[in-house]
Amino acid sequence: MLPPATVSEFWAQRLDEDVSASITQTWTDQAIKCYLSSANCAGCTIPKGGYSFTCQMDKVVPVLLKTLGTPPPRQLEKLRPFMPAMKVGA
């Protein structure tokens, strides 16, 4: 995981408000995983899942950061067991 300042800088450069409002209202587990990985799609399950949609997390996360701030610590802790390769603590 990148240091918090670097994570913030990464996402600040990707702010794009042209995203559906319905998916930018809350920090979902998938949005938090994308945030923590700095949009590393190689480790994401969405592209590998054969879904009928294209992932928009790279657009959703900057909007969430702007409107809600960083993900809540409780949600970050909840994901820790499922992300062994990452140190959650941003």
| pLDDT in the model for residue 45 | 78
- Over 90: is that where the pLDDT of 69 sits? yes
Categorize the per-residue pLDDT at 68 as very low, low, confident or very high, splitting at 50, 70 and 90: very high
What pLDDT was estimated at residue 23? 79
pLDDT tens digits along 15-61: 554 667 777 889 999 899 888 888 888 878 787 788 777 788 888 89
Q: Report the 3 state secondary structure along 14-82.
A: CCCCCCCHHHCCCCCHHHHHHHHCCCCHHHCCCCCCCCCCCCCHHHHHHHHHHHHCCCCHHHHHHHHHH
pTM, 2 dp: 0.68
